[in-house]
Amino acid sequence: MNFAPLPSVDVAQVPSDGLVLDVRENDEWAAGHVEGALHIPMSDFVARFGELTEAAEDGRRVHVMCRVGGRSAQVTQYLVQQGIDAVNIDGGMLAWDGAGRPMVTDNGAPAFVL
Exactly one of 66, 73, 80, 111 is catalytic; name it. Answer: 66
Q: Which residue spans within 1-114 are E strands per DSSP?
A: 8-9, 19-22, 38-39, 62-65, 86-89
CB 32 within 8 A of CB 113: yes
Helix or strand holding residue 73 (H, E): helix 70-81
Q: What is the DSSP letter of 68?
A: S
Q: Is 66 among the catalytic positions?
A: yes
The catalytic residue positions are: 66
